């Protein structure tokens, strides 16, 4: 059930109406039923396989987290009851023993869920690499690929439940005793398509304790959904044709067409992903449920580090909080730190564990995006640029002190363009999905002399009116982003007279209705991040 389908619009409308009509205590039950209905009709795999993965994640997470919380409560009760009789050393030993029990339970939860994700997404990738190695070694034997369909949103709900399990282990939250409420947290339908990846403490209160009705929730939610439709249907799906044409015909479309493809893909991906997130946040907002923002004007970033603090924010913070930080303070990293400092000196040695943790995180980020080497190289490419930038910080400070350009509008614009070029160049690995071909096409920018003119532009599958619509659409998105820097655009629109508000939102509705890429025989494009 695509977000941009008529079925979803009808489904969401029914859920919103029923949600605000029924008693507050029953609303979370309605949402859980809606989740299962939505997931049932997604049909990305044969049913009931589609639901088996989700249910397995919910049940295993429920069992392990409740055992973790029960053990933590048992430890507290025991220490409190025996506070006077236990000496300091005995208390310490008992705490360590109980923590070890909880750690094993956490590992069990992670192994079950991440293991399930790994089997579903990475089995054939592993088989492919084994076969390649066997071929290099001269063996004629080959392993057979396995037919495993990837259920919709599996990466998102598993990451969300794994984060919840870790929070239970850390004592940040107590395990949910009602398995159906945990199921609602794991399967909240607006998030299943492409995130954001929510934390239990942020999302659970709004899911289980609904608010009093306020028409503003519905109004703001529908406005956000309409804005998402505009970005997705008017801009992203229109540009998809040109991007696909450039990527598929590498013999014709090389040189400057690679640069054009980078530009088009940057616009398409932004409008596709943020458009989907707008629909997600808007759908939840119409139910009075706030979700974390996943993008904060990423294309205004002056550095790659800043870009990743603004793009797919919930994914970045998940990897930071649940992989980078625990890895950085792990016993292995502490030993590596001591060893590297001893053999390489403090200046170089202190960097080794930090760089190791960073490389692991970006490797994981790459392979999370897809089970192929192009995504791994893309992740490690981002890592390399970030580490080089970190090492060049003293040079940047020296340069800025001498030139006095830092902070000027011209220099800020240069840095924004530079960041966009880096981001877009690395995204070529996503476009061409083949590492050698990506390097070849990037090199063609400097060697091939393909000509971009009116005739070749028309060969990309777009009409002149399509280019005009995209240009106007991009200008609108850019202007809205600029206005949004000083506060909520919807709040600002709400302060103008009624006729002005009506003109803006009805005008946007007409634009989507008239210029949206849909109609009889049109198959709405899947959101790009559905695949992850």
Residue 79 pLDDT: 86
**Rounded Cα gap, residues 124 and 119, in angstroms:** 9
Separation in Å, CA 130 to CA 114, 141, 352 = 21, 10, 30
The backbone torsions φ and ψ at residue 9, rounded to the nearest 5 degrees and listed phi first, read -60, -45
Is there a contact between 123 and 20 (Cβ–Cβ < 8 Å)?
no
DSSP assigned state of 99:
H
Task: Name the CA radius of gyration of the chain, rounded.
Answer: 26
- 191: which residues sit within 8 A by CB, 6+ positions away? 153, 156, 157, 160, 197, 198, 280, 284, 291
* Region for 296 from its dihedrals, namely left if φ exceeds 0, alpha if ψ lies in -120 to 50, beta otherwise: beta
Q: What does the pLDDT read at residue 430?
A: 92
CB 484 within 8 A of CB 201: no
What is the Cα–Cα distance from 223 to 182, expressed in whole angstroms? 30
In this model, does residue 116 exceed pLDDT 60? yes
Residues in the chain: 532
Does residue 43 have a pLDDT over 70?
no
Distance, in Å, from the CA atom of 367 to the CA atom of 355, rounded to the nearest integer, reads: 18
pLDDT in the model for residue 144: 87
Mean pLDDT, the chain, as a whole number? Answer: 90
In 3D, which of 434, 443, 456 has the Cα closest to residue 258? 443
Contact 303, 389 (CB under 8 A): yes
Give tens-digit pLDDT for 480-494.
999 998 888 998 998
List C-alpha distances in Å: 26 to 17, 55, 189, 205, 209: 14, 22, 17, 14, 10
| Contact by Cβ (8 Å): 340, 349 | yes
- Distance separating alpha carbons of residues 505 and 515, to the nearest angstrom: 15
| pLDDT tier at 523, thresholds 50, 70, 90 | very low
Report pTM. Answer: 0.90
| Alpha-helix residue ranges (DSSP H) falling in 286-330 | 304-310, 313-319, 325-328
Q: DSSP label at 11?
A: H
Question: What pLDDT was estimated at residue 274?
Answer: 94
What average pLDDT score do residues 389-405 get?
Answer: 88
Residue 315 has pLDDT above 90, yes or no: yes
CA distances from residue 148 to 116, 122, 257, 371 in whole angstroms, order as listed: 12, 10, 36, 13
The tens digit of pLDDT for each residue in 287-300 reads: 999 999 999 999 99
């Amino acid at each position: 059930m695509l977000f941009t389908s008529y079925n979803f619009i009808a489904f969401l409308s029914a859920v919103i109406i029923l949600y605000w009509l029924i008693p507050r205590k029953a609303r979370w039950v309605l949402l859980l039923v809606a989740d299962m209905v939505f997931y049932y009709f997604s049909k990305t795999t044969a049913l009931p396989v589609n639901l088996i993965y989700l249910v397995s994640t919910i049940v295993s997470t429920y069992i392990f987290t409740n055992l973790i919380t029960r053990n933590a409560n048992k430890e507290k009760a025991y220490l409190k009851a025996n506070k006077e009789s236990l000496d300091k050393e005995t208390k310490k030993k008992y705490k360590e023993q109980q923590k070890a029990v909880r750690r094993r339970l956490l590992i069990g939860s992670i192994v079950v869920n991440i293991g399930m994700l790994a089997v579903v997404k990475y089995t054939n990738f592993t088989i492919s690499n084994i076969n390649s190695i066997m071929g290099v070694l001269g063996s004629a034997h080959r392993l057979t690929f396995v037919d495993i369909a990837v259920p919709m949103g599996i990466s998102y709900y598993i990451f969300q439940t794994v984060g919840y399990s870790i929070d239970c282990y850390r004592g940040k939250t107590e395990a949910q005793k009602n398995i159906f409420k945990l199921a609602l947290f794991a399967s909240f339908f607006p998030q299943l398509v492409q995130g954001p990846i929510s934390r239990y403490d942020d999302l659970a209160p709004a899911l289980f304790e609904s608010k009093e009705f306020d028409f503003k929730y519905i109004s703001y939610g529908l406005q956000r959904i309409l804005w998402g439709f505009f970005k997705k249907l008017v801009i992203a799906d229109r540009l998809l044709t040109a991007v696909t044409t450039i990527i598929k015909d590498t013999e014709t479309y090389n040189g400057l067409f690679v640069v054009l493809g980078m530009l088009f893909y940057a616009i398409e991906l932004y409008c596709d992903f943020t458009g989907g997130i707008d629909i997600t946040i808007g759908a939840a907002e119409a139910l009075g449920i706030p979700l974390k923002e996943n993008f904060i004007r990423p294309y205004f970033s002056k550095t790659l580090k800043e870009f990743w603090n603004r793009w797919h924010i919930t994914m970045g913070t998940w990897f930071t909080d649940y992989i980078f930080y625990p890895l950085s303070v792990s016993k292995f990293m502490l030993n590596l730190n001591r060893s590297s400092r001893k053999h390489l000196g403090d200046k170089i040695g202190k960097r080794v564990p930090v760089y190791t943790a960073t490389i692991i995180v970006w490797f994981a980020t790459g392979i999370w995006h897809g089970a192929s080497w192009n995504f791994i190289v893309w992740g490690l490419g981002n890592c390399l640029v970030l580490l080089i930038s970190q090492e060049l910080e003293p040079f940047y400070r020296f340069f800025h002190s001498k030139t006095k350009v830092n902070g000027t509008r011209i220099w800020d614009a240069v840095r924004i363009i530079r960041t966009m070029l880096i981001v877009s160049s690395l995204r070529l690995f996503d476009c061409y999905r083949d590492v050698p071909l990506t390097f070849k096409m990037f090199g063609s920018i400097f060697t091939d002399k393909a000509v971009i003119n009116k005739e070749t532009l028309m060969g990309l599958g777009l009409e002149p009116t399509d280019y005009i619509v995209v240009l106007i659409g991009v200008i609108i998105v850019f202007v809205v982003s600029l206005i949004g820097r000083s506060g909520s655009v919807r709040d600002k629109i709400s302060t103008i007279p009624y006729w002005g508000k009506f003109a803006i939102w009805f005008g946007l509705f007409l634009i989507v209705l008239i210029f949206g890429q849909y109609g009889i025989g049109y198959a709405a494009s899947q959101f790009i991040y559905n695949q992850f």
